[in-house]
């Protein structure tokens, strides 16, 4: 009897401790709300998002195929464009399928590891996209301000190193995100008020100390966005100088919808903005479709 009472008294705090930390041990699922406040309209919102995703896949695959198969397009501008298309393809595919599943078939549940993986891909490839845009701005600066030395400054070796630097920067800066999240304890709600797993949305659910996660997330945002915007601004300032020388009270559902569109619209429009408006790529695309008898 004494032994049973001892086990009973010992099991209560042990059960409470396991209950409080079980989410970390069992890696439970999260619940994606979709677009809070627009539950009745989510089916209609999913339709244009599906079209955007389809355009993103078709457009970026076409750009990569055209540049890959045509040696005359193996130039800095087109190689950077191919990198951008590849990144946009991964970025859109990391977001759209689960978002559409949430909106169309109410598949709100997402596993712990899957959520962290999606979060890593979204943030890492967003960082890479920003880096490639900086590289494209650098290419325009060299082409306009130093046209005679363009091929010697941006030779294939340099382009490869720039692409590798963009890739490594995105991976190294964002790899701590899921690692730091694994040390957190989730004790109550697992409902994410978003259509996909976003870093700060997951951090807010933790009941343990999140100062390190928040500080690192802010530091990465300032480092990536801040430095890249400054770099692009400086490059275009020099371009403008050369050209002249020669002649909060927003509803939460709006935030979520805009954040989702931010990850789908650029990948869908970049092939049109950078590809179709480029004469060489437009000619190759028309040639491919004419050979297939589609036009």
pLDDT value at residue 168: 92
Averaged pLDDT for residues 141-168: 84
In the sheet with 30-32, reading across from the earlier edge strand, the strands are: 109-110, 30-32, 191-192
CB 175 within 8 A of CB 169: no
Within-domain flag for 99:
yes
Within-domain flag for 10:
no
At residue 103, does pLDDT exceed 80?
A: yes
| pLDDT confidence tier of residue 146, bands split at 50, 70 and 90 | confident
For tokens 């439970």, the residue is: 28
What's 110's domain CATH number? Answer: 1.20.1070.10
Q: What percent of the chain is modeled with pLDDT above 70?
A: 67
Number of domains in the chain: 1
Q: What percent of the chain is modeled with pLDDT above 90?
A: 6
pLDDT single digits (tens) 124-136: 998 898 888 888 8
What does the alpha-carbon distance between residue 275 and residue 229 come to, in Å, rounded to a whole number? Answer: 23
Q: Which two tokens stand for residue 278?
A: 């480029």
What does the alpha-carbon distance between residue 128 and residue 126 come to, in Å, rounded to a whole number? Answer: 5
Within-domain flag for 49:
yes
Averaged pLDDT for residues 59-82: 83
**Environment class of residue 161 by beta-carbon count within 10 Å: exposed (0-12), middle (13-18) or buried (19+)?**
exposed
At residue 121, does pLDDT exceed 90?
A: yes
pLDDT value at residue 139: 81
Within-domain flag for 12:
no
Within-domain flag for 4:
no
N-to-C CA span, the chain: 88
pLDDT single digits (tens) 227-254: 777 766 666 566 556 545 544 455 666 5
Contacts by 20-24 with C-beta closer than 8 Å and gap 24+?
A: 20/185, 20/187, 21/185, 23/185, 23/186, 23/187, 23/190, 24/182, 24/184, 24/185, 24/186
CB 65 within 8 A of CB 281: no
CA angle 50, 55, 59 (to 5 degrees): 155
For tokens 């393809």, the residue is: 89
Q: Which of 125, 121, 268, 252 is nearest to 196 (CA)?
A: 121
Domain residues for 212?
26-291
At residue 209, does pLDDT exceed 50?
A: yes
| pLDDT confidence tier of residue 13, bands split at 50, 70 and 90 | very low
Within-domain flag for 277:
yes
Within-domain flag for 5:
no
Q: Is the pTM of this model over 0.75?
A: no
Within-domain flag for 103:
yes
pLDDT single digits (tens) 256-276: 665 665 556 566 666 665 555
What DSSP designation does 249 have? -
pLDDT value at residue 239: 53
For the chain, give me the number of helices (H) and strands (E)?
12, 3
């Amino acid at each position: 009897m004494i032994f049973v009472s001892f086990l009973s008294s010992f099991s209560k705090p042990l059960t409470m401790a396991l209950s409080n930390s079980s989410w970390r041990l069992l890696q439970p699922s999260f619940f994606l709300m979709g677009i809070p406040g627009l539950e009745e309209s989510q089916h209609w919102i999913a339709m244009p998002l599906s079209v955007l995703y389809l355009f993103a896949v078709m457009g970026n695959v076409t750009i990569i195929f055209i540049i890959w198969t045509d040696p005359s397009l193996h130039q800095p501008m087109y190689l950077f464009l191919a990198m951008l298309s590849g990144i946009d393809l991964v970025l859109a595919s990391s977001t759209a399928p689960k978002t559409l599943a949430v909106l169309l078939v109410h598949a709100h549940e997402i596993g712990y590891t899957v959520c962290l993986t999606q979060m890593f891909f979204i943030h890492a490839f967003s960082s890479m996209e920003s880096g490639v845009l900086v590289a494209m701005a650098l290419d325009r600066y060299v082409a306009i301000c130093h046209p005679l030395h363009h091929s010697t400054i941006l030779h294939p070796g340099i382009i490869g190193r720039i692409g590798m630097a963009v890739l490594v920067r995105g991976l190294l800066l964002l790899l701590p995100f899921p690692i730091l999240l694994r040390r957190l304890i989730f004790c109550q709600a697992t409902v994410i008020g978003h259509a996909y797993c976003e870093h700060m949305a997951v951090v807010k659910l933790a009941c343990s100390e999140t100062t390190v996660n928040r500080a690192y997330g802010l530091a990465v945002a300032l480092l990536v966005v801040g430095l890249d915007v400054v770099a692009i601004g400086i490059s275009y300032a020099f371009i403008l100088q050369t050209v002249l020388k020669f002649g909060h009270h927003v509803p939460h559902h709006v935030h979520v919808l805009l954040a989702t569109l931010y990850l789908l619209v650029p990948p869908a429009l970049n092939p049109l903005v950078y590809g179709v408006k480029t004469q060489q790529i437009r000619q190759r695309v028309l040639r491919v479709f004419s050979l297939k008898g589609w036009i």
